[in-house]
Amino acid sequence: MGYRANSKKDCDGKRKNFGLNGLHDHLEQCKAKPKINLNNNQTQRTQTALSINQPKFAYYKKSLPDQYKSKLKDAELKFVVTGSHSFNLLENYGILNLVQTGIEIDANVGLIDVKDIFYGRQTIRQEALSKFEQYTNHIRSLSEQPFK
């Protein structure tokens, strides 16, 4: 069964973009529905908090607990202020990729201290020089080949 997350046809057959709001609204409704238990031919309604696993593609900031929202905002602010970085850096692909890599490592390895896994400026500088050398050697090898 497929799920079309981005649009819905109206009465004219045209699609209107709803994003993931429908999915998020559905999850909220499912959490609030009373659970019906059938015991000894009696219907018993009990209000329970369902633990619904939200798909990763549908996760967004509003579903973070308030304590993590605050902690994330503080960490981003400290990053900008203490490093004298631009606010635009918080939306830079490189920093987002770095943070996502940390999250993936945490998900697979477990809770770790970032100071224990980051390589540091010297190692990354050497890695950059090594990649540059590989790239220039590749370009040289291409330029030595005859043109077709």
Tell me the per-residue pLDDT of 89-126, one tens digit each, with 9 for 90 and over: 989 999 999 999 998 998 999 988 888 888 999 999 99
Question: What integer pLDDT is reported at residue 114 of this predicted model?
Answer: 87
CA distance 144 to 53: 56
| Mean pLDDT (the chain, rounded) | 76
Residue 26: pLDDT over 50: yes
Residue 119 amino acid letter: Y
Residue 63: which of 99, 116, 24, 6 has the closest Cα? 24
pTM, entire model: 0.50
The CA dihedral of 100, 106, 112, 113, to the nearest 10 degrees, is 10
Residue in this structure with the two tokens 């080949």, named with its chain if needed: 145
Per DSSP, what are the bridge partners of residue 38? 43
